[in-house]
Amino acid sequence: MEAIDLRHHLNTLSVSRCPSPLKDIMAYMAIDGMISFAGGLPHTSLFPFVDLEATVYSSNVDLHSTASRELIRLTIHKDNKNDGQAVDLATSLQYSSSAGLPWLLNYTHEFTRTVFRPAYKNFEVLLNEGNTDGLSKVVSLLCEAGDFILTEKQTYPTAQAVWIPMGCNSVPIEMDAEGMRSDALEDALRSWDSDHPGAKRPHVLYTVPTGQNPTGCTMSARRKQEVYAICVKYDIIIVEDDPYYFLQFDEYHFGKGKQNGYALAPYDESSFLSSLERTFLNFDTEGRVIRLDTFSKTLAPGNRIGWFTCNPVFTERLLRATEVVTQTPSGWSQAILSELLRSWGISGYMRWLSGLQREYAVRRNWMCDALGEAFDIKTGTSDEGLVVYGKGTKVRLFSFVPPRTGMFLWWKLYLEENQDFLAVKAEAGDEDPEAVFERKLWKELVDEKVLLTPGSYYIPWQGKDKTSIATSGREYGVIFFRIAFSLTTKEDMALGVQRMAQVLCRSWGLA
């Protein structure tokens, strides 16, 4: 099955891009015996770099053990010495194809084919500088000023920060424990013309399907299939921004005893692969998904390397943009990742990812366990997840669904029993008291030296006249906080949770 023709989704800018004639001429340089006076390239003998060595972990290190770890030494020479090197410095530090160095491009293609299994044959990959760069290029590929972009009910602010200044608005779609609701998506599209008379119909859906930022929610395969079918029906391009995809782990079983540890099953590649949720790409029979993958969360953000997977019409236009916008990802990053991944192989990288999963699962467990110590917790509905009460009280403070992926807990705080909020509400007048109270509580937490991210950061932007709770259709009497468990030690996590419990109890008048 091949991608269908979706070029009518390209915006004016993107359609208008021409190949750089200089890039065009590069093909002639490769002709045997050609003497080239064409390229304005510095001579590689004039690079001051001779060679590079990096010490890295073996792919099967036990990150959780304090025992000494098996190390690998990567060596990258200036000139390829034919010892199996993926790259050499002379090539990777010279001007090169904007698509990426061939070895790394082939690796990401093969990895995508093996792990994500796109549903159509002629998908292509193209390197970028991580998902921030990737999304920026996708918006420049598809969106015009004034477009409406479908998003989850809470969405990633840096994504919105790309399209808001262009004059685009977000269209938030309700979520439940399985992710964006397909019935809500269908409703929004079916009633679009009557709800937005004269406005252009949305043709782009932006989603973080796995370990969503900020909610931590993971979209089920069933839901993806439903959403995909609706996008086919309404001719919508799905932008699958999936940086947390490989941080998938088991459910948190509350009340089954302390879970500070984590059972280490013997690693098995096929079990690892089958444990991963299916991606949109895996349902993408038409080539209407642009998937964004990155090494930022799995190797290190500073690599600034990710890749697009999409249909050839889109990769070709994205390549034209890359040539004049960023040219290529860093040669150092490409060279080091190439050698690391060559040394590990695709199987080794999967082995590494399975080890990472465990580490983030352990951190999720630390956080949930610490909350169990500091508060009283009961199991709620599937959408509520765990409901959290002031210790020794029946006062409901917040609820959260323990995430099966990613880095975040998403707290929904219930303000109906908070006298401080009711006082704010009495004074607030026209302003949303929820917004005022969120800022106040956040500041009280900061004053006790614990830093969370306010939920208001993630409110989809629907235009200047739709920022209040009433006009935007949000829920009254609740606020949200995002809590990242990725970065803190176990001790700091326990201490931070104690501080939060103290501030919350004080705010709710329980202390």
- List the interface residues with a copy of itself, window 139-158 (CB under 8 A): 157-158
38 binds a copy of itself (CB under 8 A): yes
Region near a copy of itself per CB under 8 A, out of 164-172, 222-230, 376-384, 420-428: 164-172
Q: State how far the Cα of 492 lies from the Cα of 473, in Å rounded to an integer.
A: 37
Q: What DSSP assignment string belongs to 326-384?
A: T-SS-HHHHHHHHHHHHHHHHHHHHHHHHHHHHHHHHHHHHHHHHHHHHSEEEE--TTT
Structural contact between residues 89 and 51, judged by C-beta atoms closer than 8 angstroms: yes
Q: What DSSP character marks residue 250?
A: P
Least Cβ distance, residue 500 to a copy of itself (angstroms) = 8
Among the residue ranges 38-46, 189-197, 267-275, 371-379, the one whose residues contact a copy of itself (CB under 8 A): 38-46
Helix (H) or strand (E) segment spanning residue 90: helix 89-92
Nearest to 216 by CA among 9, 96, 83, 360: 360
Residue 259 binds a copy of itself, judged by CB under 8 A:
no
At 479 the three-state DSSP class reads strand
Q: Tokens 């809470």 — which residue? A: 154
What's at 97, amino acid-wise? S
Binding test (CB under 8 A) with a copy of itself, winner from 8, 16, 67, 194 = 16
51 binds a copy of itself (CB under 8 A): yes
Nearest distance in Å: CB 241, a copy of itself: 13
What gap in Å lies between CA 191 and CA 178, rounded to an integer?
Answer: 23
Which residue number, 340 or 395, has a Cβ lying nearer to a copy of itself? 340
> Among residue numbers 86 through 115, which ones bind a copy of itself (CB under 8 A)?
89, 92-96
**Under the criterion CB under 8 A, does residue 198 sit at the interface with a copy of itself?**
no
**Is residue 412 helix, strand or coil?**
strand
Binding residues for a copy of itself restricted to 208-227, rule: CB under 8 A: 213
d(CA 456, CA 201) in angstroms, rounded, equals 26
In the DSSP assignment, the letter for residue 45 is G
Our finding on whether 345 is near a copy of itself (CB under 8 A) is no
- When the beta carbons of 426 and 487 are compared against a copy of itself, the nearer one is 487
Residue 292 tokens, joined = 């964004």
Under the binding rule (CB under 8 A), the answer on residue 49 touching a copy of itself is yes
Using CB under 8 A, count the residues that bind a copy of itself.
Answer: 111
User: Does the protein bind a copy of itself through residue 457 (CB under 8 A)?
Assistant: yes
Query: Is 43 near a copy of itself (CB under 8 A)?
Result: yes
Tokens of 31: 């002709």
Q: In this chain, which of 33, 257, 261, 266 binds a copy of itself, going by CB under 8 A?
A: 33
Among 152, 286, 323, 438, binds a copy of itself (CB under 8 A): 323
Phi, psi of 302 (to 5 degrees): -65, -15
329: contact with a copy of itself by CB under 8 A: yes
- Closest separation between CB of residue 222 and a copy of itself, Å? 27
Q: What angle do CA 63, 67, 70 make, to 5 degrees?
A: 70
By the rule CB under 8 A, 199 interacts with a copy of itself: no
Q: 268 burial class (0-12, 13-18, 19+ CB within 10 angstroms)?
A: exposed
Q: Which is nearer to a copy of itself, 188 or 204 (CB)?
A: 204
Of the two residues 63 and 273, which places its CB atom closer to a copy of itself in the complex?
Answer: 63
Closest distance to a copy of itself from the beta carbon of 207 (Å): 17
- Which is closer to a copy of itself, CB of 301 or CB of 509? 301
CB-facing half-sphere around the CA of 79: CA atoms within 13 A:
3
* One-letter amino acid for residue 193 of the chain: D
Residue 304 interacts with a copy of itself (CB under 8 A): yes or no: yes
| Interacting positions 363-402 with a copy of itself (CB under 8 A) | 363
Q: Does 499 bind a copy of itself (CB under 8 A)?
A: yes
Q: Is position 165 an interface residue for a copy of itself (rule: CB under 8 A)? A: yes
Helix 433-447 and helix 490-507, axial crossing angle in degrees, nearest 10: 130
> CB 449 → a copy of itself: shortest distance, Å?
5
- Min. distance of Cβ 360 from a copy of itself in angstroms? 8
Q: Does residue 503 touch a copy of itself according to CB under 8 A?
A: no
| Cα–Cα dist 47/314, whole Å | 35
Token pair listed for 225: 């299939």
Interacting span for a copy of itself (CB under 8 A) from 119-127, 218-226, 248-256, 482-490: 482-490
DSSP 46: G
Beta bridge partners of 257: none
